[in-house]
Amino acid sequence: MERRSRVLAALVLLLGTTPVVAGDATPGWVVHEPDALEWRPSSSLPPGAMVAVLDGDPDQEGFFTMRIKMPDGYRVPAHSHSRQERVTVLSGVLNLGHGDTYDAAKTRKMVPGTYSSMPPGMTHFAYMTGETVLQLSTIGPWTITYVNPEEDPRTKKPRV
């Protein structure tokens, strides 16, 4: 048991995980129960997407994990990332396509349990069937660049 504790401590140091106490005061053990996740609106995806950061900080250098929850019919315009994108579909269906132009007919259906890893700069787009939850684990800082800047929600002015 002592060896396991040392291995866990070494992993925490290597990955830069912020220690979080999980019930029994074990330093470095991070536990997030599904019903207790802190969801917040995404600032970089179109309105309707919610994110919950589980580990690390997507805005900083280093490893992080977050979940993204999107409603049925939700659409993500063509975009790319500066870092590898690694996602696992937890629920719902991610319909994912690649290229500079959104085309629902050119997507691949990804059901729960599907894992996808896309290289930096790969332009892709998606729509959701059913409420869809993805888990993204990769290296930050996390960026998103839309092919069409007019589709970037960070540059849209709120309607008055």
Full pLDDT tens readout for the chain, 160 residues: 455 444 444 444 444 444 444 455 678 888 888 888 999 999 999 999 999 999 999 999 999 999 999 999 999 999 999 999 999 999 999 999 999 999 999 999 999 999 999 999 999 999 999 999 999 999 999 999 999 999 999 987 655 5
Q: Are 13 and 66 within one domain?
A: no
Q: Are 78 and 14 within one domain?
A: no
pLDDT at res. 159: 57
Q: Domain count of the chain?
A: 2
Q: Flag whether 158 is in a domain.
A: no
Q: Are 126 and 77 within one domain?
A: yes
d(CA 64, CA 135): 11
Q: Counting Cβ atoms within 10 Å, is residue 87 exposed (0-12), middle (13-18) or buried (19+)?
A: buried
pLDDT at res. 2: 53
pLDDT at res. 35: 87
Global pTM exceeds 0.75: yes
Q: Flag whether 156 is in a domain.
A: no
Q: Are 67 and 8 within one domain?
A: no
pLDDT at res. 32: 86
pLDDT at res. 156: 72
d(CA 143, CA 58): 9
Q: Which domain holds residue 8?
A: 1-31
Q: Flag whether 91 is in a domain.
A: yes
Q: Flag whether 160 is in a domain.
A: no
- The answer to whether 40 touches 54, Cβ cutoff 8 Å, is no
pLDDT at res. 47: 96
Structure tokens at 109: 């259906």
Q: Flag whether 14 is in a domain.
A: yes
Q: Flag whether 159 is in a domain.
A: no
